[in-house]
Structures are given as structure tokens and as C-alpha cells.
């Protein structure tokens, strides 16, 4: 039986090339696997194409833990695109902002350099499984990809039908479902239930405005400092409630009283959406033009309408060689969070091919504690309204209480060393 034997060089098939899928591909390749990365659009990085905030609050600690664990190649490439470092904005300290205009080709170069077989415009529509093992990934136009282990990193954003059910329909975000077809969760084809009762979707928390469409003094300040806060006139009220937002870390009063704008190559405005005429009534924004979503005057992409049940190694419950990563893991928000889950899933996919014991991260690390906290809270908090991130909301408060949050890099490296995991995500498993 091919599924019982250890494979000399496992072939790992990653579906979805957002931050989670890219991290999974990089860590599986670093461990020595042959890797195929399938992406439905013509660009990698998914929602990471319109984000950019890293290292804010606990994301600093998590990112340095990941670097110490061997994620340095991917993180280094990401950081080579940083425009601003060490900035503070309401409720957030020591943030860096990467340049969304440079990030995609930079990460694509790394993917090519690692010999990862990236297949764009390749939508996976489902899996074949035999006795608890996924044996094939089926693509939209009939092609089949066979691997030894599979990672579903297809995210939760969209598709248009979901945006229509929960809000105003397609608002033309970077996922571009009308062009490339819907996001599809291939895990669903296995019969795994990804729709727990009581789960309600949430709206993405920021929009992008063309920097050149701002008044020149605001554009200059934004470019120089990385952020501006513009007090909102009384006539402009932001009506998205905290629990309706994907990014609960940006739900404090300061984000309702001020327009918080960050410079990520574009002007990243920290509201879910705002009617264009209201946006243009704000001083300095009379000529503002939305560039993502194009219809951000009406709504934003809708996310978090599914949770993939998994164990501590990120293996999907009921399937021996299928892993999940990124937002699918369950109400987990952010690039750093996607990279963490991708790294772990990619590494464990290789281990499954080699029939080695799967890696679980200890709770002495913020990364391990985060996964444990999310799993426990999802079990206990049946309202399913929390979102989880290193940078704020319920998990960051918990991490501070546990003494896990620190910006002392030497202390973080020691913590990783004591857990025996230094360089784990760069260690070659194949042939070892």
C-alpha cells in the first residue's frame, strides 16, 4: 500500500498561495520535499496583497520566534519590502509596514529560487480520498495532481456568493472572483464539516485609497511618517460594529473617532468601508479614490465563514495526509498568523510523507500558546464571535498576562533554543 510506506522524497501539494500557502511551500521545500503550489489567480499572496502591517504588538514576538525557528528566508524577503519601521498608531506599537506594490514579485522570486512548482490560474475544486488518505487534487479543467501530502490554504475571503449573503455582494476586491472564479475549499469535498453552528462571517477591516488622490500635505506626511490620524467630523460615523469586523484589534474608540491612515505603498485606511461622499467630506480627502476594494464606498470582502477542524499538528481531523493553514484554521487573522500556520503545516506535511512523528509547538512559545488558546477558545466560546491575532483583542491580552509578549530578541531566541526548536523550519528532513 503506497500510503503505509515511508516515501524517500515526499511530494507536497499546497492549495492557495496566500501567506499561509507560500509559507507552507517554503517550509516543505526547505525540509527537502518536492512542492507544487496551486493558486487560482494570476498573483500570489491573496489578501496579503492589500495588507502590510507586521510586527505590531505581539506580532513582533511571534515573528522573531518564527525567525529563530528557521522561517528567516521568507521573513527576510518580506522585510526587504518594508517601507516604515517602528511606527506607533492607536493601540499598536513598533509596527512595520511592507510595500504592497513590491511584495508579490519579491516573494515570487523566493518561490522560484526554492524550486517550488508554482501553478497560477489553477483552481483546485476537490480531492479524491481512499480510506482516510487524500490521493488526488482535482483542478478546474480536469487536470489531476497526485501528491503524498496536501495542504489546504485557500483562505476564507469571498467568494461573491458569500459577500452577497452577508453584505452587499462583490465589491471588486483583490481576490477578483468575477475574473478567476470563486474561492473553493477543497477540504469540503472530503465531507469534513467546516461550517460549525453559530458561525457568522465578518467584514474585512481596511480599504486602500490612491495615495496621489489625497491632499498633498497629507500625502507627504503619510509618506514621511508612515501614518496620519485625521479627526472625523461629527457628520461621519463609522457604523461597523466590533463583532462584525474581521480585525477586532482595530475596534477601539480611536478608530471610530479618527480616520487612521497607514502608508503601505498605497494609503491604507483603517475602516471596513465608507460611502465615497462621506470619505470625501473629510478634510484633505475631497478627491479620494478607492483602489481596493474598488467599491469600498459600499462594502468590503467578507471572511471567516468556515473553520476547518484540525489537531495540534494542523492535520485535518479524519484525514491522515491533509493539513490546513491560514485563516481556515479558525478565525485567525493576519499575515504573521498565516505564516506561522503555513510553516507548521508545510513541515508536518513532509513528516507525514516520511512517516515521522508530527511536530507540535509548545506553549512556552507564543506561537504554540496561540494555537492552543485558539483551539480551546473555539471549543468553549460557542458564540464564535472572537477573532484571534497576536496584535490585539482577546489573544494579545492573554499573551501579555502570560508574560509571553516581549520585544527582547535575545530573550526570544533563548526561549526558542530552550524548546529545542532553533532552525526547525529550515532543517532538512528528507535524506536525514
Ligand X SMILES: Cc1cc2nc3c(=O)[nH]c(=O)nc-3n(C[C@H](O)[C@H](O)[C@H](O)COP(=O)(O)OP(=O)(O)OC[C@H]3O[C@@H](n4cnc5c(N)ncnc54)[C@H](O)[C@@H]3O)c2cc1C
393 interacts with ligand X by CB under 6 A? no
- Choose the binding region for ligand X from 10-18, 102-110, 163-171, 249-257 (rule: CB under 6 A): 10-18
335 interacts with ligand X by CB under 6 A? yes
Q: Which of 297, 299, 326, 330 binds ligand X (CB under 6 A)?
A: 326
Q: Which of 7, 10, 14, 21 binds ligand X (CB under 6 A)?
A: 21
Q: Which H or E run contains 72?
A: helix 72-79
Q: How far is the CB of 355 from ligand X (least distance, A)?
A: 28
Q: Which of 10, 48, 70, 147 binds ligand X (CB under 6 A)?
A: 48
Question: Which CB, 83 or 429, lies closer to ligand X?
Answer: 83
Sequential DSSP letters for 16-45: --BHHHHHHHHHHHHTT-EEEEE-SSSSSB
DSSP-derived letter for residue 154 is: -
Q: How far is the CB of 367 from ligand X (least distance, A)?
A: 15
- Rounded Cα–Cα distance for residues 430 and 408 (Å): 34
Q: How far is the CB of 390 from ligand X (least distance, A)?
A: 9
Q: Which of 19, 60, 89, 323 binds ligand X (CB under 6 A)?
A: 19
Among candidates 432, 425, 431, 428, which has minimal Cα distance to 68? 425
CB–CB of 272/147 below 8 Å? no
Q: Which of 190, 206, 248, 348 binds ligand X (CB under 6 A)?
A: 206
Q: Which of 53, 316, 324, 345 binds ligand X (CB under 6 A)?
A: 53
- Rounded Cα–Cα distance for residues 230 and 269 (Å): 11
20 interacts with ligand X by CB under 6 A? yes
- Choose the binding region for ligand X from 12-20, 77-85, 350-358, 420-428 (rule: CB under 6 A): 12-20
**Could you tell me the CA-to-CA distances from 176 to 46, 226, 234, 368 in Å, in that order?**
10, 28, 34, 34
C-alpha grid cell, residue 267: 494609503
Q: Which H or E run contains 66?
A: helix 58-66
Sequential DSSP letters for 229-282: EEEPPTT------GGGBS-GGG-STHHHHEEEEEESSSEEE-SS---HHHHHTS
327 interacts with ligand X by CB under 6 A? yes
Question: Which CB, 6 or 88, lies closer to ligand X?
Answer: 88
Q: How far is the CB of 12 from ligand X (least distance, A)?
A: 15
Q: How many residues does the chain have?
A: 432
CB–CB of 243/299 below 8 Å? no
Among candidates 400, 376, 325, 339, which has minimal Cα distance to 58? 400
163 interacts with ligand X by CB under 6 A? no
Q: Which residues pair with 263 in a beta bridge?
A: 267
Q: Which of 155, 226, 297, 330 binds ligand X (CB under 6 A)?
A: 155
- Choose the binding region for ligand X from 45-53, 79-87, 214-222, 283-291 (rule: CB under 6 A): 45-53
Q: How far is the CB of 197 from ligand X (least distance, A)?
A: 23
129 interacts with ligand X by CB under 6 A? no
Question: Which CB, 7 or 207, lies closer to ligand X?
Answer: 207
Ramachandran bin of 289, using left for φ above 0, alpha for ψ from -120 to 50, beta for the remaining angles = beta
Q: Which of 10, 14, 18, 387 binds ligand X (CB under 6 A)?
A: 18
- Choose the binding region for ligand X from 128-136, 179-187, 190-198, 283-291 (rule: CB under 6 A): 179-187
- Rounded Cα–Cα distance for residues 390 and 56 (Å): 8
C-alpha grid cell, residue 260: 487612521
192 interacts with ligand X by CB under 6 A? no
226 interacts with ligand X by CB under 6 A? no
| Residues forming the site for ligand X (CB under 6 A) | 15-21, 38-41, 46-48, 50-53, 123-124, 153-155, 157, 175, 183-184, 186, 204, 206, 301, 326-327, 333-336, 338
Amino acid at each position: 500500500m503506497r500510503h503505509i510506506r515511508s516515501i524517500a522524497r515526499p511530494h507536497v501539494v499546497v492549495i492557495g498561495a496566500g501567506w499561509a500557502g507560500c509559507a507552507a511551500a517554503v517550509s516543505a521545500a526547505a525540509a527537502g520535499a518536492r512542492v507544487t503550489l496551486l493558486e487560482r489567480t494570476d498573483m500570489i499572496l491573496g489578501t496579503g496583497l492589500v495588507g502590510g502591517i507586521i510586527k505590531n504588538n505581539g506580532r513582533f514576538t511571534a515573528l522573531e520566534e518564527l525567525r529563530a525557528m528557521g522561517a528567516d528566508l521568507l521573513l527576510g524577503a518580506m522585510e526587504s519590502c518594508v517601507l516604515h519601521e517602528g511606527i506607533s498608531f492607536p493601540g499598536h506599537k513598533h509596527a512595520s509596514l511592507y510595500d504592497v506594490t513590491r511584495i508579490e514579485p519579491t516573494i515570487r522570486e523566493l518561490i522560484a529560487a526554492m524550486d517550488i512548482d508554482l501553478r497560477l490560474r489553477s483552481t483546485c475544486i476537490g480531492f479524491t480520498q481512499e480510506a482516510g488518505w487524500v490521493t488526488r487534487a482535482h483542478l478546474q479543467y480536469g487536470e489531476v495532481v497526485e501528491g503524498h501530502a496536501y495542504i489546504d490554504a485557500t483562505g476564507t475571503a469571498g467568494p461573491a456568493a458569500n459577500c452577497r449573503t452577508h453584505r452587499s455582494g462583490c465589491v471588486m476586491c483583490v481576490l477578483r472572483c468575477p475574473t478567476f472564479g470563486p474561492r473553493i475549499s477543497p477540504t469540503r469535498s472530503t465531507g469534513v464539516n467546516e461550517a460549525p453552528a453559530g458561525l457568522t462571517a465578518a467584514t474585512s477591516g481596511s480599504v486602500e485609497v490612491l495615495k496621489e488622490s489625497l491632499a498633498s500635505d497629507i500625502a507627504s506626511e503619510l509618506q514621511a511618517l508612515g501614518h496620519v490620524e485625521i479627526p472625523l467630523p461629527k457628520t461621519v460615523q463609522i457604523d461597523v460594529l466590533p463583532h462584525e469586523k474581521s480585525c477586532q484589534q482595530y475596534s477601539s474608540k480611536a478608530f471610530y473617532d479618527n480616520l487612521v491612515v497607514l502608508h503601505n505603498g498605497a494609503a491604507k485606511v483603517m475602516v471596513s468601508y465608507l460611502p465615497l461622499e462621506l470619505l470625501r467630506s473629510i478634510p484633505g480627502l475631497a478627491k479620494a479614490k478607492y483602489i481596493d476594494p474598488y467599491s469600498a464606498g459600499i462594502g468590503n470582502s467578507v471572511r471567516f465563514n468556515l473553520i476547518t477542524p484540525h489537531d495540534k499538528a494542523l492535520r485535518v481531523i479524519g484525514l491522515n495526509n491533509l493539513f490546513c493553514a491560514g485563516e481556515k484554521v479558525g478565525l485567525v487573522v493576519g499575515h504573521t498568523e498565516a505564516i506561522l500556520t503555513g510553516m507548521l503545516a508545510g513541515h508536518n506535511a513532509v513528516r507525514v510523507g516520511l512517516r515521522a512523528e508530527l511536530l507540535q509547538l509548545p506553549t512556552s512559545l507564543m506561537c504554540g500558546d496561540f494555537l492552543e488558546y485558539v483551539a480551546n477558545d473555539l471549543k468553549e466560546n460557542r458564540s464564535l464571535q472572537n477573532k484571534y491575532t497576536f496584535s490585539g483583542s482577546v489573544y494579545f491580552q492573554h499573551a501579555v498576562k502570560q508574560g509571553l509578549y516581549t520585544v527582547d530578541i535575545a530573550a526570544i531566541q533563548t526561549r526558542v533554543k530552550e524548546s529545542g526548536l532553533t532552525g526547525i523550519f529550515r532543517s532538512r528532513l528528507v535524506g536525514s
